[in-house]
Amino acid sequence: MNSQLEIFTQGRQNILKLTEELSLDQLNKIPDGFTGNIIWHMGHLVSTQQGLLYRLSGLEMNLEASFIDKYKKGAVPQSPADQAELEYIKKELIAQTDKLKSDFAQQKFKNYTTYPTSFGYTMNTFDEALNFVLIHEGMHIGYIMAMRRLVK
């Protein structure tokens, strides 16, 4: 499990490195052929991690319902994010890694509600969910990498 948590942490750090040189306008730009922007993908990862790992484990999520709605699966940006929202998302990308490691060490993930994903995979345990989150994060990092080339 430690390697999974380290991969999760490294992926989040990589997202920040990929986006650090981009302006707010570049991060908000929706490239042709895409329905979202880089900020949306970053916020989506923050939102999805909470739902798949915390909510389905019966634990409290640390995000406002309005944030989750804005970045949930199927949502699209309705307006550009401002600098404050971007900073919040960046902070959460890293804060979630620390909290996940701490909560895992405290053995908080004891229960899990089975959840069939749109990916065609059904998660039955926290361990399965964490593995799926890693795949999901990798997919969205790929989107971020592709969009980064288009907005520069």
Half-sphere exposure of 84 (CA within 13 A, CB side): 0
Q: Can you give the pLDDT at residue 2?
A: 87
Q: Can you give the pLDDT at residue 1?
A: 67
Given a contact cutoff of 8 angstroms between Cβ atoms, the answer to whether 19 and 94 are in contact is no
Q: Please, which residues have CB within 8 angstroms of residue 133's CB and are 6 or more apart in sequence?
A: 8, 48, 49, 52, 53
Give 74-92 pLDDT, tens digit per residue: 999 999 999 999 999 999 9
The rounded distance, in Å, linking the Cα atoms of 41 and 122 is: 23
The rounded distance, in Å, linking the Cα atoms of 12 and 134 is: 10
pTM of the model: 0.95
Structural domains present in the chain: 2-151 (1.20.120.450)
Residues of the chain with pLDDT under 70: 1
Give 8-25 pLDDT, tens digit per residue: 999 999 999 999 999 999
**Tokens standing for 1?**
């499990």
Task: Say whether 117 sits in a helix, a strand or coil.
Answer: coil
Q: Can you give the pLDDT at residue 148?
A: 98
Residue 18: count other Cβ atoms within 10 Å of its Cβ. Answer: 16
Q: Given the structure tokens 């329905």, which residue do they identify?
A: 35
Identity of residue 7: I
